[in-house]
Every structure is written in C-alpha cells, then in structure tokens.
Amino acid sequence: MRTIILGLAATALLAGCSSDTAPPPEQAEAVTLQPGEYAITAKIDSFRSTDKTAPATKGKAGDPPTSRRACIAAGGTIAPDVFADAGDKCTASNSYVRNGRLNLQLSCSRPGHGTVMQLADGSFTADSFEAKLNTATYFTGSGDYAMTRTFTGKRVGSCALKESLVP
C-alpha cells in the first residue's frame, strides 16, 4: 500500500513538470482599505455559554444587526475598538490588513469581568470589508461565553468623526 501511495505522489509531482512555459501571471494591483468613515453592521451568528451560566453580555443569535460608524486610518489601519463591545479596552496583538485579506487578533479587558479574546478574519475591497469575529471570554467569575458575529463595513465618505468610533 505504501508503494502505491509513493508511486501516486511521484506521478503527481512529475505531472506538474512541463516543458511548456506559461506566461508570468499579471501583477495584481495591491488592494488597500481606503481611509475614511465606515458604516458598520454587526450580526450575531452564534452564541453559547461556555461555563453553563448566564452569559455576562447582552444579545443572542438572531437579534437584529447593530450598527455603528468608525474611521479607518490612512494605510487601512483598523483600530481595535471597531470590533470591541461597549466598555471593552482592546489592543491588537497581531494585525494583517493587506492585499484584500483582513486578520486581527485582539486582546480585550472588560472592567469587572476579565479577558475577552477576539479574532477577526475576513476580506476587503478598497471601500468595504466583511469579517467573521470569533469571541471567547475568560472571566474571573461566571458568565463566560463564545460568540461569532459577522461584521460588514462600507465607506461612506471622509472621516468627519472626532473619535475613531461612534455608536
């Protein structure tokens, strides 16, 4: 059986080799998220208690989407508070917003509760983005939960907001 698998692997590798040379792929223009004010909606896709107690947050799957406005900085930098819940203080531990891909790892603290970890994974065009936000809490007391939300943002113009995030 191992011989057959090795033979198939070798055949697949040789099939990838060809004397024909393909033209080089066209250089795709790098996509950046344009700075400005964005209208953002968030919809809860799934929500569950992870410690079998009442979750220490409002909201549940199926609730109407919420909306907010936020400014995206020059260079496509997305501030951590764009994805934060009210009152949370977040920092980005890893951030990748380039070439149409968006990936942010956020570590947040919620006063009186503890740690909220979030991972935003999505894509963007020059004037919009969509991301799945996975949230897991690690509170000092009860109320831990896991939640998945879909965030969509659409550029609506130059940033007229005085702060980076307005509910």
Is the pLDDT score of 20 beyond 80? no
Q: Which tokens hold the place of 74?
A: 């020059």
Mean residue pLDDT across the chain: 82
Residue 123 confidence class, pLDDT cut points 50, 70, 90: very high
Q: What is the pLDDT of residue 26?
A: 46
93: left (phi over 0), alpha (psi -120 to 50) or beta: alpha
Helix (H, G, I), strand (E, B) or coil at 112: coil
Q: What is the pLDDT of residue 15?
A: 43
Q: Render pLDDT for 66-75 as a digit per residue (tens, 0 to 9).
A: 999 999 998 8
Closest CA to 103 of 90, 89, 88, 93: 93
Q: What is the pLDDT of residue 81?
A: 85
Residue 6 confidence class, pLDDT cut points 50, 70, 90: very low
Whole-angstrom distance, CA of residue 153 vs CA of residue 133: 13
Q: What is the pLDDT of residue 77?
A: 85
**Buried (b) or exposed (e) across 100-137, using 16+ Cβ within 10 A?**
bebebbbebebeebbebebbbebebeeeebebebebeb
Q: Render pLDDT for 30-53 as a digit per residue (tens, 0 to 9).
A: 788 999 999 999 999 999 999 999
Q: What is the pLDDT of residue 58?
A: 83
Residue 93 identity (one-letter amino acid): S
pTM of the model: 0.75
Is the pLDDT score of 17 beyond 70? no
